[in-house]
Structure 1
Amino acid sequence: MRWTFSWAGLVFLAMLIVPNLLWTKVRPKGYDQLEQQENRVLVALERIGQVAMSACALFENKSPRSWLWLVVVFGCMGLYERYWIRYFRSHHTLQDFYRDLGMIPIPGAVLPVAAGFSLAVYGRNPFLLGATVIFGIGHVGIHWRHRQERK
């Protein structure tokens, strides 16, 4: 394998990080209470996955797979950005934060994991794939539990 810098990975990370930085200023009302009750194992997996994904997304195999995988990556990330725009235009409640996007449950957690998985396949990057699985277990697990606790 010959590794090279991934421009697609850099764009993916920017699309992932920017809305999350903005979110820190407009967190949903009541989120702090949910955050205090989070499963420590899931939080650890999420954080480890975040760091690993950030590092691994910047590299791809010299001969990536079909560009159709990039369409999937940026299709997921486009929906992710749409989710954030809807949230930022809302009243910033937990209901707004966990509202489905069409048929996609907890889109703020599911879409970046799907995009990370697709980016790993596109770039033939097994390290990114592993990091995405770790991140996905933690991130989706945390937000699935938050959503269930709200019901």
Structure 2
Amino acid sequence: MGLHYIGFILPLLILLPNLLFIFFAPRYVPSSITAPPGILTVLERAGQISCFTLPILFGHRIAVQPITSLSWLMLICLIFYYMCWVRYYRSGRTFSMLFKPLGPLHIPMAVFPVLYFSLLALWIESLLFAAAAAVFAIGHLTVSWNTYKQIG
């Protein structure tokens, strides 16, 4: 445990496009979208908070890890995630683009952050990080799938 700048950078890399989202909200949001069950939103938020804070608290542990295929896979997930964000902004911020499949992969903008944090857990061999990623996965993927099915 211990702070290290790497622990701040890793969650920030996933968070950056979402910060733009605050200022450039989606357009053409269907009024018929219903909120998911409250427990799923709670799980999603708990997972997000955990996945964003644990790397900060355990930054030193992350910083001493050697670069492996898992860290390269994290980078690949990040690149695809950014590609999805570029696609969203190029579409004129159309709401449905947040959920549009990328090839055969449904809800890629939910899948890539989940994979990113799951790979981080594997990379540093942490059950605590894995638990946070699992909670995030259950909440985020289910909430996103719920919305995807409503607009699809």
TM-score normalised over the length of structure 2: 0.85
Deviation at residue 124 of structure 1 after TM alignment: 1.5
Match of residue 29 from structure 2: 30
Deviations 1:72-117 (A, max 9, x none): 1111111001110111111222322211122221011000001100
CA 1:116 to 1:136, structure 2 compared with 1: closer, same or farther past 3 Å? same
Match of residue 132 from structure 1: 133
Residues 26-105 of structure 1 aligned to structure 2 (within 5 Å)? 26-28=24-26, 29-30=28-29, 34=33, 37-58=35-56, 59=58, 60=61, 64=65, 67-105=68-106
> 5+ unaligned residues in a row in structure 1: which ranges?
none
Q: Distance in 2 between matches of 1:7 and 1:70?
A: 16
Tell me what 2:142 maps to: 141
Gaps of 5+ in 2: none
- Aligned residue type for 1:43: T
Secondary structure of the corresponding residue to residue 30 of structure 1? coil
CA deviation after TM superposition for structure 1 residue 13, in Å: 1.0
Distance 2:95 2:107 in 1: 11
TM-score, normalised with respect to structure 1:
0.86
Aligned mate of 1:10, from 8, 11, 17: 8
How many angstroms does 1:30 deviate by?
1.4
Q: 1:63 to 1:89 in 2, by over 3 A?
A: same
Question: RMSD of the alignment, in Å?
Answer: 2.2
Instruction: Name which of structure 1's ranges 107-116 and 12-21 shifts more when overlaid on structure 2.
Output: 12-21
Q: Tell me by how many angstroms 1:50 deviates.
A: 1.0
Matched residue type, 2:29: G
